[in-house]
């Protein structure tokens, strides 16, 4: 399986609302529940109305369109990383999954995934 590194630094945020962000921008992910409004976006796009934020994330994208019947793709990747004490933040879209890890863990994550048979593209 092939993973692509997204060459952007991301921030994970809790926001008051989405008015300060262009949701049409690439790599802007939102999630709204009865308890919060979350935003993951390139750090340079973080709006002024954040309640909390956590900077310093990098992302891998699972390449290709994943069929909904496929089972265990994300769990296998996250298990490899967890076994090496690398925390993740996962985002799923209609087509694929994104795995974010802290910037300081990126090189180790690349090595772990490569050692487990994944091809990493930059």
With a cut of 60, say whether residue 92 has pLDDT above it: yes
Read off the pLDDT of residues 3-42 as tens digits, 9 standing for 90 and up: 999 999 999 999 999 999 999 999 999 999 999 999 999 9
Q: Is 101 exposed, middle or buried (0-12, 13-18, 19+ CB in 10 A)?
A: buried
Q: Of how many residues is the chain composed?
A: 122
pLDDT confidence of residue 64: 65
Read off the pLDDT of residues 59-68 as tens digits, 9 standing for 90 and up: 999 886 545 4
């Amino acid at each position: 399986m092939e993973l692509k590194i997204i060459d952007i630094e991301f921030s994970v945020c809790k926001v008051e609302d989405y008015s300060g962000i262009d949701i049409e921008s690439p790599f802007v992910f939102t999630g709204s529940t009865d308890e919060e409004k979350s935003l993951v976006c390139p750090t340079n796009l973080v709006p002024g109305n954040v309640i909390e934020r956590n900077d310093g994330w990098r992302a891998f994208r699972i390449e290709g369109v994943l069929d909904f019947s496929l089972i265990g793709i994300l769990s296998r990747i996250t298990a490899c990383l967890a076994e090496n004490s690398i925390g993740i933040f996962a985002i799923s879209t209609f087509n694929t999954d994104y795995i974010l890890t802290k910037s300081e863990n990126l090189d180790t994550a690349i090595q772990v995934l490569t050692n487990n048979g994944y091809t990493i593209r930059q």
